[in-house]
Amino acid sequence: MVFGQVVIGPPGSGKTTYCNGMSQFLNLIGRKVAIINLDPANDSLPYECAANIEDLVKLSDVMVEHSLGPNGGLVYCMDYLEKNIDWLEAKLKPLIKDHYLLFDFPGQVELFFLHSNAKNVIMKLIKKLNLTLTAVHLVDAHLCSDPGKYISALLLSLSTMLHLELPHVNVLSKIDLIESYGKLAFNLDFYTDVQDLSYLQNHLDQDPRSAKYRKLTKELCEVIENFGQVTFTTLDIQDRESVGNLVKQIDQSNGYIFAGMEASAVEFSKIAIRPVDWDYYRVAAVQEKYMKDDENIDSDD
């Protein structure tokens, strides 16, 4: 059984940074990690990927050849990947024996609650390669500072959960920056626990643009609360304790912690017994230096 994460979320939510930081953390606690970039628009990767969709199809080529915009081009690329799933399977088969997988997906949200291509790709991999995956849905924490945007984030999270039908963890990313957007109307627990959204109504009523949608907003909040599925955990990718807590939650959701109980205990004992050599920016800088050195060597050749 192979475990991994499907990393999704709107543009700018920090998916690529998350994959970079998460892979470093997992390596430090003893897991072999392989990152699979499935975002054909991501042409500046801070990590070394085991498989890159750009080797199969490039968004820029699709846009030129088919006269498509970025959104249409991404839908086409996902459709092309689904039809050429054998290519991705061949890339993953050498890794599934001993690697933990991180899938870095595009930020186009329609792919995960409206179109079926991305879901079909995931489900085919799960079935053919016996993968056990958790969807990690990142949402920028700054949306909590605006009640309307926060409700939109809740709807997106709920729609994605229902569409993908995977073990699911919603994450408020960049939590270390949340204070820079101003004081929150409520304690952070209110936004992570997602309870009694009627309190947001008073704040929305103070905005003339939102007041006229009062009835619609109320109905949407009731839908979210009636499902009772959406909660958030917080993440500061620079903080090892924050990353470690998230890893534990993901491990519980996909069963990793139960499939390898003894190994999992040993991994996290490294965090509990002694400080882990964890400095996101230092490690990232070293990686970038090595990547530049490799580029210089290639150019010299």
Instruction: Give pLDDT, residue 136.
Output: 97
Taking the C-alpha atoms of residue 235 and residue 242, their distance in angstroms, rounded to an integer, is: 6
Query: Alpha helices of the chain — where are they, by DSSP H?
Result: 15-28, 59-66, 70-83, 85-92, 110-113, 117-129, 147-164, 188-193, 198-205, 208-211, 214-227, 240-254, 256-259, 261-273, 280-300
Instruction: Give pLDDT, residue 195.
Output: 83
Instruction: Give pLDDT, residue 83.
Output: 96
Check whether 46 has a pLDDT greater than 60: yes
49, 37 in Cβ contact below 8 A?
Answer: yes
Check whether 127 has a pLDDT greater than 60: yes
Give the number of residues written for the chain: 301
Instruction: Give pLDDT, residue 114.
Output: 82
Instruction: Give pLDDT, residue 198.
Output: 86
Q: For residue 54, what pLDDT band results from cuts at 50, 70 and 90?
A: very high
Instruction: Give pLDDT, residue 284.
Output: 52
Q: Which of 301, 287, 283, 289 is nearest to 48 (CA)?
A: 287
136 pairs with which residues across the strands? 7, 169
Q: What is the DSSP string of 19-61?
A: HHHHHHHHHHTT--EEEEE--TT----SS--SEEGGGT--HHH
Task: List C-alpha distances in Å: 109 to 102, 200, 217.
Answer: 18, 24, 21
pLDDT in tens, 174-221: 999 998 888 888 999 999 999 889 888 777 777 777 777 888 888 999
pLDDT in tens, 140-164: 999 999 888 999 999 999 999 999 9
Taking the C-alpha atoms of residue 144 and residue 181, their distance in angstroms, rounded to an integer, is: 9
pLDDT in tens, 250-300: 999 999 988 765 555 566 555 554 455 555 555 455 445 445 554 554 545
Check whether 301 has a pLDDT greater than 70: no
pLDDT in tens, 60-111: 999 999 999 999 999 999 999 999 999 999 999 999 989 999 999 999 888 9
Report the SS3 class of residue 67: coil
Instruction: Give pLDDT, residue 290.
Output: 44
Instruction: Give pLDDT, residue 273.
Output: 46
Instruction: Give pLDDT, residue 180.
Output: 87
Q: What rounded mean pLDDT belongs to the chain?
A: 86
Token pair recorded at residue 280: 């996101």
